[in-house]
């Protein structure tokens, strides 16, 4: 490349684009780190109890086997794992990963159990993942709000399931979450998960 003004401008422009791409990749990686995970020391008793469980195991089997085991300060495993046969865990690590973010786990438990009450509903894994990603995004909005947004969205989804006997689409859930956040005064950019 020639060492003239045009060449230097192009190099600066290319570097700015590379930096923007690096920042975008870093942002996407941080998106999964919304609610701080429960410290490993708070899961030691659960990990010990899970050694006696035969995997794969359903949520119902896990609640029966380890439901009364304390997780974090105010929860037991049964508060965070859906007591259903549809929810299936392949390893003990999958169980501990699920309960490490109690706010999201509690919300997903309520939604999963509500979907089990309607026999014609099928709560697919991709939709479950999208709901969970929305709940994680809500916990990142404001760490000091006692996760009111998660509570409101969980209730909204459960109401939709019980009233209409249908699961709201993941896009509808994201849109409702964004509306709630904007009405509460939180800025939601269009390039974020909730910015639909």
pLDDT at 63 over 80: yes
Q: Are residues 111 and 23 in the same domain?
A: no
- In a domain, residue 193? The reply is no
Q: Are residues 1 and 95 in the same domain?
A: no
- In a domain, residue 177? The reply is yes
Q: Are residues 167 and 89 in the same domain?
A: yes
pLDDT at 38 over 70: no
Q: Are residues 24 and 36 in the same domain?
A: no
Q: Are residues 42 and 139 in the same domain?
A: yes
Average predicted confidence (pLDDT) for the chain: 81
- In a domain, residue 74? The reply is yes
Task: Quote the pTM value.
Answer: 0.73
Neighbouring CB atoms inside 10 A of 93's CB total: 12
Range of the domain at 12: 1-30
- In a domain, residue 192? The reply is no
Q: Are residues 143 and 92 in the same domain?
A: yes
Q: Are residues 22 and 106 in the same domain?
A: no
Give the model's confidence band at 32: pLDDT under 50 very low, under 70 low, under 90 confident, else very high: very low
- In a domain, residue 195? The reply is no
- In a domain, residue 196? The reply is no
- In a domain, residue 75? The reply is yes
Q: Are residues 92 and 103 in the same domain?
A: yes
φ, ψ of residue 102 in degrees (nearest 5): -60, -40
Task: Specify the number of domains making up the chain.
Answer: 2
Please report the sign of the dihedral spanned by the C-alpha atoms of residue 126, residue 128, residue 129, residue 134: positive
Q: Are residues 67 and 158 in the same domain?
A: yes
Q: Are residues 70 and 19 in the same domain?
A: no
Segment of 18-32, 36-50, 179-193 carrying the highest mean pLDDT: 179-193
Tokens of 29: 């990686």
Q: Are residues 116 and 19 in the same domain?
A: no
pLDDT of residue 176: 92
- In a domain, residue 190? The reply is no
Q: Mean of the pLDDT values across residues 87-106?
A: 86
Q: Are residues 132 and 58 in the same domain?
A: yes
Contacts of range 40-45, beta carbons closer than 8 Å, 24 or more positions apart: 42/70, 42/71, 42/72, 42/73, 43/71, 43/96, 43/99, 43/100, 45/69, 45/70
């Amino acid at each position: 490349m020639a060492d003239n003004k045009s060449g230097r401008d192009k190099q600066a422009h290319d570097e700015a684009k590379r930096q923007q791409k690096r920042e975008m990749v870093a942002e996407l990686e941080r998106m999964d780190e919304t609610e701080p995970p429960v410290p490993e020391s708070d899961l030691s008793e659960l990990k010990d109890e899970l050694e006696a469980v035969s995997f794969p195991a359903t949520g119902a089997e896990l609640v029966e086997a380890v439901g009364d085991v304390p997780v974090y300060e105010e929860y037991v495993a049964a508060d965070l794992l859906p007591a259903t046969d549809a929810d299936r865990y392949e390893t003990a690590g999958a169980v501990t990963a699920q309960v490490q973010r109690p706010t999201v786990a509690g919300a997903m438990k309520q939604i999963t159990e509500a979907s089990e009450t309607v026999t014609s509903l099928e709560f697919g894994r991709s939709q479950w993942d999208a709901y969970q990603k929305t709940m994680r995004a809500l916990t990142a909005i404001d760490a000091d709000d006692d996760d009111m947004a998660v509570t409101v969205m969980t209730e909204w989804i459960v109401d939709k399931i019980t009233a209409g006997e249908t699961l709201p689409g993941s896009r509808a859930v994201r849109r409702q979450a964004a509306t709630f956040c904007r009405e509460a005064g939180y800025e939601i950019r269009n390039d974020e998960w909730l910015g639909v």
